[in-house]
Amino acid sequence: MPSDSSMPCGARIAGTGSAVPATVWTNDDLAKTLDTSDEWITQRTGIRQRHVCIAGDESAFSLQCEALSKALADAGMEASELDLIIVASVTNEMTCPSNACRVAAELGAAPAGAFDLVAACSGFVYSLNLADSLIRTGRHRAIGIVGCDAMSNVVDFNERTVSVLFGDAAGAAVIVRDDDPNKGCVYQTLQADGSGWKALFLPRKESDVPPESPPCDIEMGFLRMEGREVYRFAVSKFKNVIEDAMQATGLGVDDVSQFICHQSNIRIIESAKEKLGLPDDKVYVNIDRYGNTSAGSVGLCLDEIRRAGKIHEGETIILVAFGGGLTWASSVWNL
| Nearest-angstrom CA–CA distance, 120 and 68 | 19
Check if the beta carbon of residue 109 is closer than 8 Å to that of residue 137.
Answer: no
Q: Is 164 in the site for ligand UT7 (CB under 6 A)?
A: yes
We find the least distance from the C-beta atom of residue 42 to ligand UT7, in angstroms, to be: 11
CA separation (Å) from 275 to 163, 242, 270, 272, 300? 29, 11, 9, 5, 25
Q: Angle between the 38-45 and 266-276 helix axes, to the nearest 10 degrees?
A: 30
Helix H or strand E segment including 175: strand 168-178
We find the least distance from the C-beta atom of residue 264 to ligand UT7, in angstroms, to be: 3
Q: Which of the residues 129, 185, 262, 301 is marked catalytic?
A: 262
Q: Is 323 in the site for ligand UT7 (CB under 6 A)?
A: yes
- Our CB check for ligand UT7 shows the closer of 166 and 333 to be 166
Residues 274-303 that bind ligand UT7 (CB under 6 A): 292
Check if the beta carbon of residue 22 is closer than 8 Å to that of residue 52.
Answer: no
We find the least distance from the C-beta atom of residue 126 to ligand UT7, in angstroms, to be: 14
Residues belonging to the chain: 335
Cβ contacts of 125 within 8 Å, gap of 6 or more: 262, 298, 319, 320, 321, 329, 330, 331
Q: Is 153 a catalytic residue?
A: no
In the list 169, 175, 176, 230, the residue contacting ligand UT7 (rule: CB under 6 A) is: 230
Concatenate the DSSP letters of all residues of 192-255 into one string: E-GGGGGGEE--SSGGGS-TTSPP--PPTTS-EE-HHHHHHHHHHHHHHHHHHHHHHHT--GGG
Q: Is 121 a catalytic residue?
A: yes
Q: Is 44 in the site for ligand UT7 (CB under 6 A)?
A: yes
- Our CB check for ligand UT7 shows the closer of 203 and 227 to be 227
We find the least distance from the C-beta atom of residue 265 to ligand UT7, in angstroms, to be: 4
Q: Is 121 in the site for ligand UT7 (CB under 6 A)?
A: yes
In the list 32, 204, 228, 312, the residue contacting ligand UT7 (rule: CB under 6 A) is: 228
In the list 3, 23, 24, 40, the residue contacting ligand UT7 (rule: CB under 6 A) is: 40
Q: Is 312 a catalytic residue?
A: no
Q: Is 62 in the site for ligand UT7 (CB under 6 A)?
A: no
Q: Angle between the 60-75 and 297-307 helix axes, to the nearest 10 degrees?
A: 30
- Our CB check for ligand UT7 shows the closer of 23 and 271 to be 271
Q: In this structure, what DSSP letter does residue 313 have? A: T
Catalytic machinery residues: 121, 262, 292
Interaction site with ligand UT7 (CB under 6 A)? 36, 40, 44-45, 121, 160-161, 164-165, 200, 225, 227-228, 230-231, 234, 264-265, 292, 323
